[in-house]
Structure 1
Amino acid sequence: MTSETLFNLILTTGQTNTAILMIGSEGSRNDPTVKPDPYQDFDITYFVSDADFPTFEQFDRSHFGDIMIQQILPEKNRWCWLMQFMDSNRLDLKIQPVSSVPDYLADDTLNTILLDKTGSYRNLPATSDQTHWVQRPTQTDFDNSITEFFWVSTYVLKGILRGELLYANFFFETIVREELYRLLTWRVGVDTDFSLSVGKAHKRLPDYFEGLERLYDLSDLTRTSQALSTALTMVDDLLPSLSHDLQLTYDKTAVDRTTDYIFRQL
């Protein structure tokens, strides 16, 4: 079925099932900064009465499409099924008790109510990605990120020097590159007055910084060394102005000594 047909089916199911009191919608389809494309999920929550909630563990989902694969995530106060259908549609469907609606709306500015049989949530504000905007770091946040970046960079170096490609790449990918991206995200935050999101998995960072692709060729020790060198150079160039603009401090002596130590051995 088309995505439009699936959406209408989602609404019809909520309208005709008497136990479903509200339909919530969240995610990228509610984000005005996201350009729609065929790959967007439907993120839907059916809110049911607290009394009916326990019975929805066995909610029939088969009419939404031919399920190719699904992941079931039962958690406290909700049931959740992540479904990929053979027709390319994807539906992340959650069931929550209606008593959780206030917390649901307060949790994320992308969350909204599509259908409300109770009449309690009319004239809701327009959705926005404000909940996901870059947050200004504290001094502790800044210290921790810089320390983690340089501390774990020495692990990457150790893996390179030992000839242990998987060890070096693991720490580069999971920590060093992530801390670099945290610092770059704060740079974007400063430059935009902390009024936007860089997206899930930092996907919008290439709009603001060139050369990030050089951080992804880790196919041998030489290329991992080059990626580490690129990351160190980017942080070395970034920290003075970022520290100044955030009005936060960092241990420049430790940064310079660690950077020099690693470069001398690469």
Structure 2
Amino acid sequence: MRTSNEMIELVLNYAKNDERVRAVGLNGSRTNPNAPKDMFQDFDIVYLVTDMNSFVEDQHWIDVFGERIIMQTPENMSMFAPELGGRFSYLMLFTDGNRIDLTLVPIEEKDKYCKEDKLTVILMDKDNCLPELQPPTDVDYWAKRPSAEFFSDCCNEFWWVSTYVAKGLWRREILYAHEHLNNILRPMLLKMLEWKVGIENSNSVSIGKCGKYLEKYLSEKCWHELLSTYASGSYEDIWRALIAMINLFRSTSKIVADRLGYEYSREEDERVTTYLEHVRQLSPNATEIY
């Protein structure tokens, strides 16, 4: 496996020898002083270039970075709507295990690019045309204090969508129930846990993408409670996971509300919880909910 220095040298050597590349930036976890370092870290590279079309039309130039296991070019894919505007990205996994996420950015967007992310480091600036950047920091990703309205909306969304899970379970629509449990309820729970972690750490830490650093900040008890919210493939276990998720959301929300001086709607909680338990006990042959 090529070393980090070898990969960076490869990236810079190509840029040095191609007149269309005017500057090189590095973003992501490799510039984050608080991110754990390991062999799976991507190289999030940006080439600020002239003549974008010439790069995109003939993609053989990327072969210089090594033999690939697989590559994805999201801006060329019918399945996903382009998200980068006039930019273009190559996500490349190589046979030695290294990965480069390389984004082409028109040189005209240089000032915009330099302001987008405080985890940006400039590796090369051929024309000395880029602004001077501060040392990289992940401050933009720190858990932030929610407004009272945002807190209330999070609670409302959690309780509202929990009824969809119950409906799916009664109907024996397991994929529907899983979808709402994991893709709508869970983000609300993780958001609430993020706020709790922020409060306990002066809003100066990040829980990472998908909450990947949460274990570091939660008590052992809370961590195991979170793990218990993941269900297996049975209807009964989804009910169990839903109840576990409700208990953790409730206890976490009350802590957040208390610490921030916000109101937690106990009435909403109690009414929905009663409804969920009622649906759970409904006969499979029931023709009326009440």
- Bin the TM-score by the shorter chain: over 0.9
**Alignment-derived partner of residue 240 in structure 2:** 226
**Alignment-derived partner of residue 101 in structure 2:** 92
Kept in 2: contact 1:169–1:218 (CA 8 A)? no
The 3-state SS of whatever aligns with 2:275 is helix
Q: Distance in 1 between matches of 2:265 and 2:115?
A: 38
2:229 is the alignment partner of 1:199: no
With the length of structure 1 as denominator, give the TM-score of the two structures. Answer: 0.93
Q: Deviation of residue 240 (structure 1)?
A: 2.2
Q: Which amino acid aligns with 1:228?
A: L
**Which structure 2 residues correspond to residues 175-194 of structure 1 after superposition, within 5 A?**
175-194=184-203
Residue-by-residue CA offset, 1:191-226 (whole Å, 9 max, x unaligned): 112111100111112221321211223321111111
Kept in 1: contact 2:88–2:104 (CA 8 A)? yes
Kept in 1: contact 2:25–2:47 (CA 8 A)? yes
Q: Distance in 1 between matches of 2:68 and 2:230?
A: 34
Q: Which amino acid aligns with 2:274?
A: D
The 3-state SS of whatever aligns with 2:143 is coil
**Alignment-derived partner of residue 210 in structure 1:** 223
Kept in 1: contact 2:114–2:133 (CA 8 A)? no
Kept in 1: contact 2:167–2:279 (CA 8 A)? no
Q: Deviation of residue 147 (structure 1)?
A: 0.9
2:193 is the alignment partner of 1:172: no
**Alignment-derived partner of residue 3 in structure 1:** 3
Q: Deviation of residue 160 (structure 1)?
A: 1.8
Kept in 2: contact 1:156–1:171 (CA 8 A)? yes
**Alignment-derived partner of residue 240 in structure 1:** 254
**Alignment-derived partner of residue 69 in structure 2:** 68
Q: Distance in 1 between matches of 2:223 and 2:100?
A: 35
Kept in 1: contact 2:229–2:245 (CA 8 A)? yes
**Alignment-derived partner of residue 12 in structure 1:** 13
Q: Which amino acid aligns with 1:203?
A: K
Residue-by-residue CA offset, 1:45-96 (whole Å, 9 max, x unaligned): 11113xx233221341011011221111334221111111112111111111
**Which structure 2 residues correspond to residues 13-162 of structure 1 after superposition, within 5 A?**
13-49=14-50, 52-57=51-56, 58-59=58-59, 60-74=61-75, 75-121=84-130, 124-162=133-171
Unaligned runs of 5+ in 2: 76-83, 281-290
Kept in 2: contact 1:132–1:197 (CA 8 A)? yes
Q: Distance in 1 between matches of 2:133 and 2:49?
A: 20
List structure 1 segments (4+ residues) > 3 angstroms apart after TM superposition: 120-123, 263-266
Residue-by-residue CA offset, 1:101-149 (whole Å, 9 max, x unaligned): 2222211111121111122347532111111111221222112211111
With the length of structure 2 as denominator, give the TM-score of the two structures. Answer: 0.86
Q: Which amino acid aligns with 1:110?
A: L
Kept in 2: contact 1:153–1:176 (CA 8 A)? yes
Q: Distance in 2 between matches of 1:123 and 1:166?
A: 51
**Alignment-derived partner of residue 287 in structure 2:** none
Q: Distance in 2 between matches of 1:7 and 1:37?
A: 16
C-alpha RMSD over aligned residues: 1.7
**Alignment-derived partner of residue 79 in structure 2:** none
Q: Which amino acid aligns with 2:215?
A: P
Q: Deviation of residue 230 (structure 1)?
A: 0.5
The 3-state SS of whatever aligns with 1:195 is coil
Q: Distance in 2 between matches of 1:103 and 1:197?
A: 24
Between 1:188-197 and 1:242-251, the stretch displaced more is 242-251
Q: Which amino acid aligns with 2:54?
A: T
Between 1:114-123 and 1:179-188, the stretch displaced more is 114-123
Give the share of equivalent positions with the same residue, in percent: 31
Q: Distance in 2 between matches of 1:67 and 1:30?
A: 24
**Alignment-derived partner of residue 263 in structure 2:** 249
Q: Distance in 2 between matches of 1:114 and 1:217?
A: 45
Q: Distance in 2 between matches of 1:26 and 1:259?
A: 44
